[in-house]
Structure formats: C-alpha cells, structure tokens
Chain A
Amino acid sequence: MLDLVLCEFQKLKRRKFITLTMGVACLFPLPVLFLALRQQQAFYMLFRMVFIFGEMLFLPCVLGVLSTIIFLTEDENDVLKNILTVPVSRTKIFLSKCIMLMILAIIYCLLELSASILFAFMIGNATNASSFILFSILSGVFIFTCSMPVVLFVITFGKNFTVSNIASFIYGVICFALAYLCTGPGGEVLLKSKIGVLPIVMVFRWYLGYFPLEERLEKFNLYVVPTPVMIGYILIFLAITVFIGILVYRKKEV
C-alpha cells in the first residue's frame, strides 16, 4: 500500500497545479496579516482567518481539482487497465488516491500554519504556536473528509475536467457559505437544524472550541464539538464515503 501511495505522488510530477497550490498556501497568510494587525492577539486572528478562508473555503476546491486530476488523468489516458493488470485491486487504487489527497491536505494546512507563524514572527507577534500543529493536522484530515463527496462526484459523473472542476468549486463555496451562515443572525437556528451536523458545519463547530471567541460569538460555545467527538464523527463519515467510493470505483468500465 505504501508503494502505491508513493506512486500516486510520483504521478503528480510536473503538475504545476500542485506547486501553485502549495505556493498559495504559503503566501495566503500575507494579505490576511494586514487585516489581523488591527486586532488584538494578531496571531490568533491571522490564523483564524487563514483557517476560515484558506482551509474551509479554498482547500475543498483544491482537493476537488486534485481529485479530478488524479482520477480523470487515468481515465483520459487509458492508464487504469495497465494498473489493473499489474495486478492492483481497484479498492487499493482508490484507497491510495484518497490517502494521497489526505496527505496533501495535511501538508497544505501545515504550510499555512508555518507561513502564519513566520509572518506573525516578522511583525513581532511571536507566539507558542506548537499547539496548532495538531490542529493543522486534524483540520487537514477533517477538510479532506468533508471533500469526499466531491471525490465521489468525480468518480461517478466526472467525464471531463471542466464539469468536475466547476462541481468542486460549487461544493467548496456552498460548504463555506453554510459555515458562514451559521455565525450570522439566524445561525443558531441553522446549528439546531440538520444542517448543523453536515461535515463542514461540524468542522466549523470544532474550530470554535479551539480559539478564544470574542463576545459576539460566545453564544456559540453551546454548539462547540469536542475533538474526540469530532474524530469519531469524521471516522464514521469517512468510512461511509470511502465504502461508497470503493463500490462505485469497482464498477468502473475499463
């Protein structure tokens, strides 16, 4: 399995999108820094904004495009038949791609954290950010899991790059909008409804517990999801989506 995951990374060689994405992850905190400077606890504000915009909004779109690249490239170039006759089972192929996406999501989150620490240090607001390493790793895993429906869309309906990429962006924006609406005026109603247990909203609720909240958001303390509960929830959601993904992928015609 490790070999297959390593092969998945090899397949991304010369893919400019990966370099571009990781570059964005590194530079994204820079413009946000200017907004955070005006606030107290600049590092916390910086990293919160980086998480909201860089991870909750941008990362699902990135993962959607990546899944389009890794799955459709094999379809378009007729490579799958060569892998299947190695032989490698479809389940292993699907799992190795998912693991690779998850690792990239974690790397992306850690890069954003590193850049945030660096920029915060540059403005003299150094902080002990080591506690956020675990947060970044978990948020990478959680956001990847939230993006699994896009992966399922790509392997089920994805016939061309454009349609799959548009679907990824729409999904990313909807997820972000849902999380954003939860902090708005009618947010509590949304959190009490079924929307409150949607993966991206659950990630948002988990995130609320990680940072000191300002007064206007304190009412949301009621809806905070503790990390162990969140891990359990994510594991169940991941197991269901991976299982569906394997079923779909196994029926794929070569």
Chain B
Amino acid sequence: MSKYIIETNHLTKFYGEQKALADINIHVRQGSIYGLLGRNGAGKSTLMKILLGLTSASEGETFVFGMNVKKDLHKILPRVGNLIETPGFYPNLTGYENLKLFARMRGVTKKNAIEEALTLVGLNNENKKLFSEYSLGMKQRLAIALAVMHDPELLILDEPINGLDPIGIAEVRKLIRSLSEERRKTILISSHILSEIALVADDIGIIDHGTLLEESSLEELENKNKVSIQFQLSDVGQASIILQEVFKTDNFKISGKENIEVYDTNLPIAKMNKAFVESGIDVHKAYLFEESLEDYFKKITGGEGIA
C-alpha cells in the first residue's frame, strides 16, 4: 500500500481544447498539511474536484487512501471532508438546519456532532440566523464545519480563508494546525496567498498554468533560498580578478555591468570592500542579500509571482 494518502499519476484535464491540468503528480503524506499554491485559475480547484470525483480526469490516475478515485469513490468520500470554491448551502435554512440536513444524508450518528462542529468554527451562537443572512466569513466557517462534522481522516480545503477578516484568518490557521496536530488529520489546502501557505503547510506544491512546478517540504524550499553578498561597483572585471587571486574563490557571478553576486557568504564583506577600493574600484553598494520565498516563487513561475 502507498505511503501517501493522496497520489496522482500524470493527471491531465482538458476543458474542450483548453488544458486545465498537465501531467500532475502530487504526493500527500499521512498526517501532513499539504499546501497547494497557485494563482487564481492555476488549476487548484480542478485538481481538488478530480480528487473528489466532481469532475473526471482526461488522462492519468488518482489515488486517495490507496484506492482509485474512478473505481472506489463511494468508499473514499465518506472518509473525506471538503470545501470547494464557494460555500454552498440552502439560503432559506439556518446554519444548524443546513448541517442537520447533511448529517442526515451522511448518516452521522454521533450525538452533538453538529453542535461540536459549529463550536469548533465559532458559529455556535448563530443558530437562528438564516444562511442568507450570514457574512462571507460566516459562510466560510460553516463550510469548514460541514467539512469536519463527520470526523473525516482527510480534509480537502479550497481557499478556506477566502472572505475572512485577519482575526478569522488567524483562527482558521490555528484550527487547521490543531486538526493536523491534535486529531492527526491529513489536510490538502489550497491558496493563492504564499504567506498563509508558508504558515500552515508542511509540504508545498506550486501549481501554475495547470503544471506542478515544484513539490517539496517547506523546509527544503527554505533551504533553497540563496544568500549572497552583492556588490555594485565600477569595474566588475578587476573585481573578479581580486576575488579569484586575493580571496581564492570562484563562487561568484557577474550580473550586468556593475554587479557581482558572491555566494560564499563566509568571506568578510569589509575586507573585500577594502581590497576593491585599494585597487581603485569605486564601490557604490555592498550588502548581504537573502532571496525570500516570494522571490523564489517569482523566479519559478516566470517572474509573475504569487500574491
């Protein structure tokens, strides 16, 4: 049996002529929070819909709990909670009544399951309000309550912080972390907000224009961030000779007419600066540069970056 809760093999999806997903291979470990990061329209929701059987893949295979989604969907779905795109409920019913309806359909037998789910998302005092009177944030919370009400092993949450205020975002973040750490849920969460994904996810998949550009743990991604000493000076040729002959390093790159990036950050900036100046080079700038996750994503997504 696969060690992954979710695994896709060369998943491809066409909408007519348009390719929405291209050869996607994602791997979600048990008990982990997997952050699917991508701009709006990148293919995140399509991927999640395929995982839930709401739409079918044009090519490739999808496995959830080691079972093929095409063949064993009825066995998979009772073990999954989800929130896809907008929260969908009946406007003429209260939040409680909506959950009661789904509890009946799901055959939830646990006493107080609805109350517990509402309490978990902070909606326990909104029992009498109709769903149509809910704010967007409350709707989002109710959708999360529905996703967790039947105590699923896997949660698939598509942009769960949409429409939430900063306090709400922090609460949902805390809730997601506690579901993972205390209740051992596996969570696949999507967002177009890098900072949010970086705060909750253990593993990250970056999706852009239907292609999975990168999949790794947050730790690995952070290690990939390059740190360098950057110089802006008048003579890069002379400066590179000094770096090679005086400081015995080739670990640098000339970028442009005036810039040198030195990747060996153990070298002393002050001594290098002094050596350049003594050789008659004008040094305009000298600083330690650290590439952020944002910069990294900009680079791999072709410069457009992610919000």
Residues on A close to B: CB < 8 A? Answer: 3-4, 6-7, 10-11, 13-15, 73, 77-88, 253-254
- Please, which residues of chain B bring their CB within 8 A of the CB of A84? 52-54
Q: Any chain A CB within 8 A of the CB of B104? A: yes
- Whether A254 lies near B55 (C-beta < 8 A) is yes
Distance in angstroms between the alpha carbons of A11 and B92 in the assembled complex: 8
* Whole-angstrom distance between the Cβ of B206 and the nearest chain A Cβ: 25
Q: Which residue of A lies closest to B77 (CB)?
A: A87
Q: Check: B110 CB closer than 8 A to any chain A CB.
A: no
- A85 B80 Cβ-Cβ under 8 A: yes
Whether B92 pairs with A81 at a CB distance below 8 angstroms is no
Q: Is the CB of A11 within 8 A of B105?
A: no
Is there contact, CB below 8 Å, between B90 and A254? no
Within 8 A of A (CB), among B249-304: none
B104 surroundings in chain A (CB, below 8 A) = 3, 6-7, 10
**Nearest opposing residue in chain B for A84, CB measure:** B54
Q: How far is the CA of A248 from the CA of B129 in the complex (A)?
A: 35
Interface centre among B52, B80, B88, B89 (most CB of A within 10 A): B88
Known: A6-B104, A82-B102, A82-B146. A87 touches B82 (CB 8 A): no
CB distance from A91 to the nearest CB of B (A): 13
Give the CA-CA distance A81 to B87 in the complex, in Å.
Answer: 10
Bound CA–CA A82/B53 (angstroms):
12
Instruction: Check if A81 sits within 8 Å of B84, measured CB to CB.
Output: yes
In the bound complex, what is the Cα–Cα distance between A84 and B76 (angstroms)?
A: 12
Within 8 A of A (CB), among B41-93: 49, 52-55, 73-74, 77-78, 80, 82, 84-93
Q: How far is the CB of B236 from chain A (nearest CB, A)?
A: 58
Of all chain A residues, the one with the shortest Cβ separation from B15 is A253
Contact in complex: A78, B85 (CB < 8 Å) = yes
Tell me if A14 and B105 are in contact (CB < 8 A).
no
CA distance A25 to B88 in the complex (A): 33
Known: A10-B101, A11-B93, A85-B54. 14 other contacts (CB 8 A): A10-B97, A14-B92, A14-B130, A78-B85, A80-B88, A82-B89, A82-B102, A83-B102, A84-B52, A84-B54, A85-B53, A85-B84, A86-B106, A87-B77
A80 to B101, CA, bound (A): 13
Other-chain contact of B88, A3, A7, A79 (Cβ < 8 Å) = A79
Whole-angstrom distance between the Cβ of A47 and the nearest chain B Cβ: 34
- Most chain-B Cβ atoms within 10 A of its Cβ — which of A7, A86, A253? A86
Can you pick out 8 interface pairs between chain A and chain B where the beta carbons lie within 8 Å of each other?
A: A10-B100, A10-B101, A11-B90, A13-B92, A13-B97, A82-B102, A84-B53, A85-B82
- Report yes or no: B49 in contact with A254, Cβ–Cβ below 8 A: yes
Nearest CB on A from B76, distance (A): 9
- A87, chain B: closest CB distance, angstroms: 4
A79's nearest neighbour on chain B, judged by CB, is B88
Find out whether the CB atom of B91 lies under 8 angstroms from the CB atom of A77. yes
Across the interface, B73 reaches (CB within 8 A) one of A3, A13, A87, namely A87
- Bound together, the chains give a CA A79 to CA B87 distance in angstroms of 8
CB distance from A67 to the nearest CB of B (A): 16
Residues of A within 8 A of B92 (CB): 11, 13-15
Known contacts A15-B92, A78-B86, A254-B54, A85 near B97 by CB under 8 Å:
no
Query: Which residues of the partner chain B approach A87 to less than 8 Å between Cβ atoms?
Result: 53, 73-74, 77-78
